[in-house]
Amino acid sequence: MDTKEIRRKRLAAWFSSRTLPEKEKSYLSQLINGKASFGERAARRIERDYGMAPGYLDEEPMGEEIRSPRPFDARHEELLDLFDSLAEWEKEQHMVNLRAQVNSIDNELKARLKGKSKQEILQMLKDLEID
């Protein structure tokens, strides 16, 4: 992994549990998604401004897996903007509801696939005509 890729992944990991600051939301998103140049000066300034240890963004993580950031589209941006405008208790309630919905879908899928052969599952997928 080259330095710019490490920086992108480390920045994404840093903000995965934090809210992107409003004043730099667009710029940080561009850095994370590889749409803006992520040089030495930018890395050091971001580390300093957001309380990271010096050199944090350049260190390849040891033993921890960092997921590659997914590309954001307009829906992601709108969802984040809407979510950020909610009170904390409302955010938590939406998270509870989303987790429940995803778990319900997962459980339904598992129930439908239970006892099916690989061939039957492949046929079910084919019938869905997923491109």
Per-residue model confidence (pLDDT) at position 16 = 87
What is the structure's pLDDT at 41? 94
- Give residue 13's domain range: 1-71
Q: Is 7 in contact with 59 (CB distance < 8 Å)?
A: no
pLDDT at 69: 52
Same domain, 53 and 11: yes
Verify that 94 and 123 share a domain, yes or no. Answer: yes
Computed over its alpha carbons, how large is the radius of gyration of the chain?
A: 20
The reply to whether 16 and 62 lie within a common domain is yes
pTM over 0.75: no
Query: Are 11 and 66 contained in the same domain?
Result: yes
Task: Judge whether 33 and 11 are in contact, CB under 8 Å.
Answer: no
The answer on 64 and 117 residing in a single domain is no
Mark whether 3 and 45 lie in a shared domain: yes
Side-chain half-sphere CA neighbours of 39 within 13 A: 2
100, two tokens:
């429940």
Q: Which pLDDT score, from 0 to 100, does residue 130 have?
A: 63
**Would 76 be classed as within a structural domain?**
no
pLDDT at 33: 92
Position 41 in a domain:
yes
Rounded Cα distance between 21 and 3, Å, is: 24
The identity of residue 71, as a single letter, is P
In a domain, 79, yes or no: no
Same domain, 67 and 110: no
Please report, in tens digits, the pLDDT of each residue of the chain (131 residues total). Answer: 788 899 999 999 888 888 888 899 999 999 999 999 999 999 999 999 988 888 899 988 765 555 555 666 788 888 888 988 999 999 899 989 999 998 999 899 888 888 989 888 888 888 887 65
Please say whether the beta carbons of 72 and 33 come within 8 A.
yes
Do residue 31 and residue 66 come from a single domain? yes
Encoded amino acid at 63, one letter = G
77 falls within a domain: no
Strands in the chain per DSSP E = none
**Last-in-domain residue among 32, 47, 71:** 71
DSSP string, 28-58: HHHHHTT-S---HHHHHHHHHHTTPPTTGGG
CB atoms within 10 A of CB 109: 10
Q: What is the pLDDT of residue 124?
A: 84
